[in-house]
Amino acid sequence: MAVLVIHGGAGGDGPWLGKTPLDPARISCMKQVLQTIGAKLESGEIDCLEAVTMAVEMLEDEPLFNAGQGSVIDEDGSVTMDASIMRGFDQAAGSVVNVTELRHPIRAANLILKQGWPVMLNSAAADQFGLANNLEQVSQDWLKTELRRGQWQQWRASKDSPGSTDEDDSVLDHDLEGRVKTEFSDEGMGTVGAVALDSNGNVAAATSTGGMTGKPRGRIGDTPIIGAGTWADKSIAISCTGVGEAYIRTCAAHRLAMTFRSENDLAKSAELVLDEVAPLGGRGGLIAVSSSGDYVMPFQTRLMYRGLWNSGSIEVGIGPQNEI
Ligand code: ASP
């Protein structure tokens, strides 16, 4: 038995408005991830740790998700990325904060986990660690897509919600005069994550993000914080997405693990935790898998990009129903 659950971020308020023109590309990326990594996990070719790492690497490579290439842009115009990973059976963990030069921040977190000590590295030291370990170096220019540049310009022009996580799809491309088209608006946050159960009954979790559009210099969200955005122990693996500060203030991922321990009901436990996160401004969602093969993908936003491989069958969804 093998289970792989992925997410590509949660966002938006109000009713589901249907797919955006950019969603088919996101859907096809998620299906590709599930097919490729799910099969390897199922066959035993890779374990849960490698499965979540490879799944997140593929999601980091999709420019429409907010991680790796296509990360959102900070207040000062730069891209800074966070990622973390945790293995359940020994609670080994790795995390990078505010990296700027790595194509795959999650691989750097994976290598930190395998090295064993320390658990977290930040900024230039984290980039240097990755490069010293032969990870691919990329430029800031390569990381920034037209969509993100346009969204950043809109954010800067409006400045009405500094620190907001809105990464709407309003900027589809530029017209010939270089003006941003704004006729279309939808929200989708785009942080990515994966949780997996392998055939040995072990679980792991990984999360990666560019954070929030317009975030101030030095801001650290929940994604690289073990226990907030990512958690795994012997019984459960969790990856969260949403307004990071609320997930930090509730230690959301760890809280779910503890709630699950006492409630022994994954769906109920996940709802209880999201209900505690929401009042702190933490609209969002999470994915989780237990060592017995239960999984959940709840969210309290308009949408959450999400997908499941469960012993060979694949499901993907964006809105409240699996409309796809
Ligand atoms: N949790 C991420 C952060 O706060 C953002 C997200 O999940 O959309 O950096």
**Nearest 5°: CA angle at 86, between 248 and 226?**
20
Residue 210 CA: which ligand 1 atom is closest? 9
- pLDDT recorded at residue 277: 96
> Could you give the C-alpha distances from 160 to 13, 144, 155, in angstroms and in order?
17, 23, 8
Helix axes 23-43, 48-61, angle to 10 degrees: 160
- Taking residues 116-129, report their average pLDDT: 98
Residue 122 has pLDDT above 70, yes or no: yes
Give residue-wise pLDDT tens across range 165-220.
444 444 333 222 232 333 233 344 799 999 999 999 999 999 999 999 999 999 99
Residue 190 CA: which ligand 1 atom is closest? 8
What is the 204 CA–ligand 1 centroid distance (Å)? 19
Choose the residue to mutate in 80, 97, 168, 243 for probing ligand 1, maximizing ligand atoms within 8 Å of C-beta.
Answer: 243
Residue 215 CA: which ligand 1 atom is closest? 9
Choose the residue to mutate in 165, 277, 286, 304 for probing ligand 1, maximizing ligand atoms within 8 Å of C-beta.
Answer: 165
| Structural domains of the chain in order of their starting residue, each with its CATH number | 3-315 (3.60.20.30)
Q: Whose CA is nearest to atom 7 of ligand 1?
A: 241
Report DSSP letters for 56-97, one per residue: HHHHHHSTTSSSSTT----TTS---EEEEEEETTT--EEEEE
- Taking residues 131-136, report their average pLDDT: 98
Please choose, from the candidates 216, 221, 220, the residue with its C-alpha nearest in 3D space to the C-alpha of residue 76.
Answer: 216
Q: What percent of the chain has pLDDT over 70?
A: 90
What is the 210 CA–ligand 1 centroid distance (Å)? 8
- pLDDT recorded at residue 15: 87
What is the 191 CA–ligand 1 centroid distance (Å)? 6
Query: Is 211 within 8 Å of 73 (Cβ atoms)?
Result: no
pTM: 0.93
How does 29-55 read in b/e, with b if 16+ C-beta sit within 10 Å?
Answer: bbbebbeebbebbbeeebbbbbbbbbb
Residue 211 CA: which ligand 1 atom is closest? 9
pLDDT band at 163 (very low <50, low <70, confident <90, very high): low
**Nearest 5°: CA angle at 204, between 86 and 31?**
125
Q: By three-state DSSP, how is residue 286 classified?
A: strand
- Ligand 1 binding pocket (C-beta < 6 A) is 9, 165, 189, 191, 209, 211-212, 221-223, 229, 241-244
- Taking residues 282-308, report their average pLDDT: 96
What is the 66 CA–ligand 1 centroid distance (Å)? 9
pLDDT band at 160 (very low <50, low <70, confident <90, very high): low
Q: CA-CA distance, 7 to 287, in Å (whole number)?
A: 7
Residue 162 has pLDDT above 90, yes or no: no
- pLDDT recorded at residue 166: 46
What is the 304 CA–ligand 1 centroid distance (Å)? 12
Q: Which residue has the tokens 């122990």?
A: 233
